[in-house]
Amino acid sequence: MLRQMKSRKRAFTLIELLVVIAIIAILMGLLLPAVQKVRSAAQRLRCANNLKQMGLAIHNYEHTYGRLPPALVNSGRWTGATGAPASKSFYPADGAFYVYNHSGFVYLLPYIEQDNLYKNYDFKTPGANSAPNGTLPAAPVLTAAHPNGQIQATNVPIYLCPADSQDPDVVVDTSGGNTNYYNRVSTARSNYLFSAGSTNDYSDPAANKNANAGAFGHNSKTSITDIYDGTSNTIAIGESIQNKRSSSFGPYWGSGTHTATMAYVPAGQPGYNINADNAVAYGSACTLQIKQKCVYAWQFGSMHTDGANFLYCDGSVKFLTNSLDYTVFTQLNTKAGGEVIVMP
């Protein structure tokens, strides 16, 4: 009778186990950067697609009204707003310069499949009560319970870059009083600003006719034919990170409070270049624990690596790097500067 032999299973030795673990660790070390790279590329592509949709929106708006939308309507921060003539208003038929602080991104809502938000928005009520220079907003003043307040507290996916998810998503300011530059009710953060060149929300509407002004501005009514530099050489909208050197800074897509809707790119001030570090440029420390960057108000930038996405007035989207010469960048942000732009 044959003896039945029992098979013995061979176990891993300690050395073999350590070798397997080491191999797995090496493979993970090689794989994780590749996964992160693919994820970052996908986020950058989705962000570019957001801008392309905004490009279609601004052209549909222009087709409807014969001009591009303004970046901001009737700012309460313009020093000449007190007693300003109706001719300075975006709505001269009102017969006065009422402070409205409407964001230009609200005007794009019907063209980005957000009709319900747009239809409920009341253009006779401000988008923000910020009016530190003495001119009161048109009655009634904005409250969080008002439809405008509820609308601007809504996150609109197209206005958010997937690479930037800094909390809080909705910022509440309860300081009250129209003398506060940053007065706002609950409002959702966003990631894009209109290009205003050397103008901003302090600017007289007449500044939109300056050679160094952008295609969008305070009460701007720019037509395509006003863009003498060419639509393919003029930035329309660019990225901006949510949380900057101060938590009060924009962008806020639905609120026309201070620094919320437009980017400022003044000549000779490279501290406003793409992702330029404000602490380095101006020697001022950040007041927040910001994830990666310390940028200033009105400034273009992103959480992508080495640059940001920009929509041009012809509808194209390009990625511009942080190393772009600032003089060239300022030229790209003017609509009628007459410069000959040479890209590196």
Q: 7 lies in a domain?
A: no
Counting beta carbons within 10 angstroms of the beta carbon of residue 52, is it exposed (0 to 12), middle (13 to 18) or buried (19 or more)? middle
| pLDDT for position 101 | 95
Task: Say how many domains are in the chain.
Answer: 1
Q: 14 lies in a domain?
A: no
d(CA 268, CA 197): 12
- In terms of Cα–Cα distance, which of 175, 187, 174 is closest to 252? 187
Which range is least confidently modeled, 158-162, 251-255, 281-285?
Answer: 281-285
d(CA 79, CA 316): 36
Q: 283 lies in a domain?
A: yes
DSSP tag of 63: H
Strands, E, within the chain: which ranges? 72-73, 102-103, 170-171, 187-188, 192-195, 235-239, 262-263, 307-312, 317-321
- Give 200-204's long-range contacts (Cβ < 8 A, gap of 24+): 200/259, 200/262, 200/264, 200/298, 201/72, 201/75, 201/77, 201/78, 201/256, 201/258, 201/259, 201/260, 201/261, 201/262, 202/75, 202/77, 202/78, 202/79, 203/75, 203/78, 204/78, 204/80, 204/88
Mean residue pLDDT of the chain comes to 87
Q: 276 lies in a domain?
A: yes
Residue 270 has pLDDT above 80, yes or no: yes
| pLDDT for position 1 | 47
| pLDDT for position 278 | 79
| pLDDT for position 64 | 97
24 versus 77: the higher-pLDDT residue is 77
- The arithmetic mean of pLDDT across residues 55-68, rounded, is 97
pLDDT digits (tens, 9 = 90+) for 21-30: 877 877 777 7
Q: 344 lies in a domain?
A: no
| pLDDT for position 174 | 64
User: What residue type is 53 in one-letter code?
Assistant: Q
46 versus 340: the higher-pLDDT residue is 46
Residue 284 has pLDDT above 80, yes or no: no
- The arithmetic mean of pLDDT across residues 272-278, rounded, is 91
| pLDDT for position 74 | 95
- 295: tokens are 């940028």
What is the C-alpha radius of gyration for the chain, rounded to an integer number of angstroms? Answer: 25
Residue 300 has pLDDT above 90, yes or no: yes
Domain containing 215: what range?
19-332
294 versus 57: the higher-pLDDT residue is 57
Residue 4 pLDDT grade (very low, low, confident, very high; cuts 50, 70, 90): low
| pLDDT for position 261 | 97
Residue 221 has pLDDT above 90, yes or no: yes
Q: 278 lies in a domain?
A: yes
pLDDT digits (tens, 9 = 90+) for 130-159: 988 767 677 788 999 999 999 999 999 999
Cα dihedral value 277, 283, 286, 292, nearest 10: 20
Residue 71 has pLDDT above 90, yes or no: yes
Q: 100 lies in a domain?
A: yes
Residue 115 pLDDT grade (very low, low, confident, very high; cuts 50, 70, 90): very high
Residue 281 has pLDDT above 70, yes or no: no
Residue 8 pLDDT grade (very low, low, confident, very high; cuts 50, 70, 90): low
Q: 50 lies in a domain?
A: yes
- In terms of Cα–Cα distance, which of 333, 331, 196, 181 is closest to 263? 196
